[in-house]
Amino acid sequence: MQRVKMSDVARAAGVSTMTVSRALRQDGRIAPETRRRIQRLVRELGYVPDRIAASFSSRRSGFVGVLVPSLNNTHFAETAAGLQNALQPDGLHMLLGHTNYLKAQSEQLVETMLERRPEAMIVTFDDHTPRTRRLLVEAGIPVIEIWEVPPKPIGHVVGFSNRAAAAAMTRHLIELGRKKIGFIGEAQDIGTRGAQRRLGFLDAVRGAALDDTRLVATSRPPIGMLQGREAMATLMRQWPDTDAVLCVSDPCAFGAVSACQIARIAVPDRVAIAGFGNFEISQCAVPAISTISVSGLTIGAEAAGLVRRLLKGDREMSSLPPQTILVDASVLARGSTVRPGKCAEKLTARPAAQEHG
């Protein structure tokens, strides 16, 4: 019981394999009548094209490699979802890997993914090892970094400045009259987006000549609700007069809010709390949590759109220069910082596209 192959279909149809090959693709130069006959036989014989052989022959894998730190994080899960949605119409499959925020894991995934000859690589910004970087550069395919605008991009970029966004949110707290502002972040986060957010926080508090020492970082990334809750308890123990806290992410902020609920600290009256990322939880929490609105779906879709343009350009031998696509990341003021009634303000960073490099 052998697998049906293209030559079987060809024989049954009384044509050559090339004709079958053409019939199964969007190749126009084939008689509609012939195509119909072949399509019928494909169905009857249960022929399933062998894309490995096709990839081998055409030297086009139909893959896009995608690296995210974690799938547990809604942001990256959404990014992956947005990517698949936008890649599918082009017949591209996603080769997805998650690194668990581990550089060694990241390096190994890049290495094994490249063996499958992806047509493009999409990697979440992080401090890559030199080898990871070299492998990506030498692969000779489009590389897109997402979720940050790196100081020294490998290739293309779809993201926003985590630092600037965190600074904007911190200024939001300052403008509300808060003076003793803390930051809850992640430990051992060198080169990560979380570290950028902390820098943005520091930019803003220092810019306003406020105390810049109220930093808590208890666990390694990713930190979630429970870590946020614990960190908030720690923060309030160490600096009881804290009147506002920026958290590295919404789940973390929700944990901080729940710590306040338990300790009967009024939010936002006594302490204002802000998150980052506009996760579902920030919208549905009571009070709703002020956050930076960014959409993983959008980042995924934009990255996929860029891939599409780059691959099309490639065939026309006119590959684009490195692109940077900025996505929106703006302050969403909600009940955890602003009492209902007061006008919620909204600082917006406009999306834009530009060239660099």
Where along the sequence are the contacts to its own copies (CB under 8 A)?
Answer: 46, 48-53, 55-56, 61, 70-72, 74, 77-78, 80-81, 84, 91, 93-98, 111-117, 135, 138-139, 224-226, 229, 251, 254-255, 258, 261-262, 280-281, 283-286
Which of the 8 DSSP states describes residue 187?
S
Q: Which of 171, 163, 147 is nearest to 274 (CA)?
A: 171
3-state secondary structure (DSSP) of residue 163 = helix
Binding residue (CB under 7 A) for DNA from 45, 54, 77, 174: 54
Joined together, the tokens standing for residue 60 give 């086009």
120-124 and 93-98 beta bridge pairing: unpaired
Q: Which is nearer to DNA, 38 or 210 (CB)?
A: 38
Residue 60 half-sphere exposure, CB side, CA atoms within 13 Å? Answer: 10
Q: Which does 21 bind (CB under 5 to 8 A by kind): DNA, its own copies, none?
A: DNA
Q: Which is nearer to DNA, 34 or 70 (CB)?
A: 34
Q: Which does 93 bind (CB under 5 to 8 A by kind): DNA, its own copies, none?
A: its own copies
CB contact at 8 A, 219 and 245: no
Q: Is the sign of the CA dihedral 251, 231, 275, 98 positive or negative?
A: negative
Binding residue (CB under 7 A) for DNA from 36, 40, 44, 56: 56
Q: Which is nearer to its own copies, 109 or 158 (CB)?
A: 109
Q: Which is nearer to DNA, 60 or 180 (CB)?
A: 60
Q: Which does 184 bind (CB under 5 to 8 A by kind): its own copies, DNA, none?
A: none
Q: Which is nearer to its own copies, 200 or 300 (CB)?
A: 300
Decide: is 319 part of the binding site for DNA (CB under 7 A): no
How many whole angstroms separate alpha carbon 23 and alpha carbon 36? 8
Decide: is 286 part of the binding site for DNA (CB under 7 A): no
Long-range contacts of 36-44 (CB under 8 A, 24+ apart): 37/13, 38/9, 38/13, 41/9, 41/12, 41/13, 42/9
Q: Which is nearer to its own copies, 95 or 338 (CB)?
A: 95
Alpha helix (H) residue ranges in 139-249: 162-175, 193-207, 225-238
Q: Is the sign of the CA dihedral 157, 153, 121, 159 positive or negative?
A: negative
Which residue has tokens 């980052």? Answer: 276
Give the x/- contact pattern for DNA in 3-42, rule: CB under 7 A. Answer: x-xxx------xxxxxx-xx-xx--xxxx-xx--------
Q: Which region among 53-61, 166-174, 209-217, 246-254 touches DNA (by CB under 7 A)?
A: 53-61
How many whole angstroms separate alpha carbon 16 and alpha carbon 10? 5
Positions touching DNA (CB under 7 A) are 3, 5-7, 14-19, 21-22, 24-25, 28-31, 33-34, 49-50, 53-54, 56-60
